[in-house]
Amino acid sequence: MTTVVSHHVLRGLKIAGVGTALLMIAPAAHADPGAFNGYAGRWTGNGTITIANAGTERIRCKGTYIVNNSGNTLQLALRCASDSYRFDLNSDVTAYGENLNGSWTEASRNVNGSVSGRVSAGQVTALVQTNGYAANFSISTRGSKQSVHVTSKGDLREVSISLTRG
């Protein structure tokens, strides 16, 4: 009789344990972790900048990204400089599912505008625009590595930056 009771008790505990584990896993599997989780922190790196009628130069960058608790709002501050060019980009964007919207400013030229685009796991693709200017902007993040790429038809033709968090 002890063996039968022990077997039933042990079986009941196993089922309860599996049930508890499933309850703990289920919310994590269905929870939306936030579009910008994994972006927060300080980033530094190098890359190139191509300026119309001036060619391509090496560029050094520092960025700070702040993500809200839900992971759906990103405040970005990215400062870059080459020997002859500098930009100071600030952006505040919010993700609504896979879509994002927000604003940006470039302090050294005193311009600002809107940001719209899409966000998915580790990837942001956006259009930044203001009166008479538009640029395609992408960020790809994998762990502590990030690639930033900007293209436009204005004076600033292309920026490619590789950043590391730390």
Signed CA dihedral, 117, 119, 125, 130: sign only = positive
Q: Using 50, 70 and 90 to split pLDDT, how confident is the model at 14?
A: very low
Torsions phi, psi for 8 (to 5 deg)? -65, -40
147 token code pair: 């690639």
User: What is the domain extent for residue 91?
Assistant: 41-165
Residue 16 or residue 140, greater confidence: 140
C-alpha span between 8 and 97 (Å, rounded): 47
pLDDT tens digits, one per residue of 105-133: 988 888 899 999 999 988 999 999 998 88
Q: Using 50, 70 and 90 to split pLDDT, how confident is the model at 20?
A: very low
0.95 cut: is pTM over it? no
Are residues 137 and 78 part of one domain? yes
Q: What angle do CA 57, 62, 63 make, to 5 degrees?
A: 125
Are residues 50 and 132 part of one domain? yes
Residue 51 or residue 12, greater confidence: 51
Residue 115 or residue 11, greater confidence: 115
Task: Count how many domains the chain has.
Answer: 2
- Identify the pLDDT of residue 7: 38
32 token code pair: 């939306």
Are residues 64 and 16 part of one domain? no
Closest alpha carbon to 138 in 157, 151, 156: 151
Are residues 107 and 48 part of one domain? yes
First-to-final CA distance of the chain? 62
What mean pLDDT value characterizes the chain? Answer: 82
Whether residue 36 is contained in a domain is answered as no
